[in-house]
Chains A and B, each alone.
Chain A
């Protein structure tokens, strides 16, 4: 067709597909990833829109029901009641707000630290690079979950502290990825070509280096979110994270685990919602990797 156009003298610009359009196309063909994305969006929407869905309040106590009562569809208790006769399903949605917020905030913290650290090391290079990466190596060997727990023991259980602590411990991989990417891109021919044709340094960075770093970073961000949610739930499960009256998925699973003999639906319900969310995020991350990293296709 292009030949015909040229011969007709109407030279049309060939519509190039950008990296992102290409990636989107590949992602949308991945059924597992797309399904996961839809389910995840539904879960996020349900959690954050819970106050507007006409559900009962999370602290609404129903004295007519027994504690840890079974699911009761007539009254709308999808997962039954918790220890204080509150609607467990509603509490799971509200707990999801905390868990998801921790996931997003801590990932953002790790993204900012990791990108700045990695890009600086990669750009400057030399001894400073060596030193910065040595620090990352040292931090790698530290059992961070123990440090996060220790922080909560020493400073009390502020939720903000947990956000920051988890974020501050998950930037190491990000720093390594960004540095590796920066280093390898800097030496590529197309950068040389751009330099040779007089493109400004700023434009090289914004037009070539950042977009090329972005792929792995986006992939890694999607895989960090479930890890962070998992870490927070882990700490909360042990009773060292979010405190009453707030709840997160970790505290809910932990409470349900204690009574699983009399109320098995509680652990299956709360644990199931947590597991489905984490599973979806992992599938989305995997799909992103396949879409953005053509090497592994």
Chain B
């Protein structure tokens, strides 16, 4: 187990390195440096500025410096928010994004699994078709369409919930719904398919033949096996939630990382954009690793050696 963990962590390093190198060199390719302004500054001042930000060093040295900074949690200064470093912006917004994402993924799992199992047990009935058609809508309709329509309907027409802002519990409801609906749909479809397959497998037939009550067969044997594809979907699901949060935070004006990313992109705040990309890349790698470990715990066929 420990050996496997070490190997996986070792495998994550090249991935992370590619992400960091990719972002760093793209940043250097960007036309116009951080201090290219309309009014020319005197050459001495410019030289001093470049020196202060170590931009006068050879590229490889700057890259090593950037790597070293990342190891210490330093993502460099933000070009646009002059008083903040990128790390301050990222770690300031992260708790908000994390809360939102964690609630969304938890709800997506609970509701998606329930819906999928429920539909699988009623395979090819009208209830099953209805559940799967609804989840198809959840997959197909983008969350940047769902979110405004939710706001319009629940926030403005019915006046039930606030449409924006942050801080109060009621502020969470609409963004969380917008964020988790597509994942509920995806998980429900995945669960249904794998549950149907498991229900026709030999070990479930054996359990039934032994005379186990249907409820015990399903909860003890079938679900445990049927849940595996969902566990391996967790990594992509987290990535999707993160991507979704970019647009959801923008729509509901939530002060999370996603919103900084959008603002940074529109403001051409290169360092901020790069920092968020590296940060989320590392997060996705971590989530994939956790999902794989969880898979091993749940699937007795997997041995880490």
Contact = CB atoms under 8 A, between A and B. Distances in A.
Given A260-B148, A260-B151, A275 B265 contact: no
Given A146-B277, A149-B273, A271-B149, A238 B140 contact: no
Contact of A257 (B15, B148, B193, B285): B148
Contacts of A138: 14-15, 18
A267 to B, nearest CB: 5
Interface stretch (A13-21, A45-53, A87-95, A150-158): A150-158
A200 interface: no
A224 interface: no
Interface in B25-43: 26-27, 29-31
Interface string A235-265: 0011110000000001001101100110010
A261 B262 contact: no
A171 interface: no
B157 to A, nearest CB: 9
B149 A267 contact: yes
A268 B137 CA distance: 15
Contact of B284 (A143, A147, A152, A256): A143
Contact of B144 (A143, A146, A257): A257
Which residue, of B18, B27, B142, B250, has the highest number of chain A Cβ atoms within 10 A?
B142
A238 B281 contact: no
A150 to B, nearest CB: 6
Nearest to A278: B140
B156 interface: yes
A29 B288 CA distance: 40
Given A147-B277, A274-B145, A153 B140 contact: no
Interface in A118-166: 138, 141-143, 145-147, 149-155
A282 B140 contact: yes
Contacts of A146: 261, 273, 276-277, 280-281
A253 to B, nearest CB: 6
A240 B148 CA distance: 19
A283 interface: yes
Interface string B78-109: 00000000000000000000000000000000
Contact of B285 (A141, A145, A226, A239): A141
Contacts of B142: 230, 233-234, 237, 274-275, 278
B243 A142 contact: no
Contacts of A155: 29
Contacts of A143: 239, 242-243, 277, 280-281, 284
Which residue, of A141, A149, A253, A296, has the highest number of chain B Cβ atoms within 10 A?
A141
A279 interface: yes
A226 B139 CA distance: 10
A141 B288 contact: yes
A267 B152 contact: yes
Contacts, number: 121
Contacts of B265: 149-150, 152-153, 238, 240
A150 B274 contact: yes
Contact of B247 (A147, A150, A234, A256): A234
Contacts of A230: 142
A51 to B, nearest CB: 27
Contacts of B243: 143, 145, 234
B251 interface: yes
Contacts of A233: 142, 144
A240 B266 contact: yes
Contacts of A257: 144, 148, 251
B293 interface: no
A154 B144 contact: no
B136 interface: yes
Nearest to B283: A143
Contacts of A260: 148, 151-152
B57 to A, nearest CB: 21
Interface in B236-267: 239, 242-243, 246-247, 250-251, 261-262, 265-266
A209 B235 CA distance: 32
A72 B149 CA distance: 22
A257 B281 CA distance: 29
Nearest to B277: A146
The 6 A-B residue pairs whose C-beta atoms are closest, nearest first, are A271-B145, A279-B140, A278-B140, A257-B148, A275-B141, A146-B277
Given A141-B15, A147-B277, A279-B140, 14 more contacts: A138-B18, A141-B284, A142-B284, A151-B26, A153-B30, A154-B27, A226-B140, A240-B265, A257-B144, A257-B148, A267-B145, A271-B148, A275-B145, A286-B136
27 contacts: A138-B18, A142-B18, A142-B281, A143-B284, A146-B273, A146-B276, A147-B22, A149-B261, A149-B273, A150-B274, A151-B26, A153-B268, A154-B26, A154-B270, A233-B144, A234-B247, A237-B142, A250-B144, A253-B148, A254-B144, A260-B148, A261-B152, A275-B140, A278-B141, A278-B142, A281-B140, A282-B139
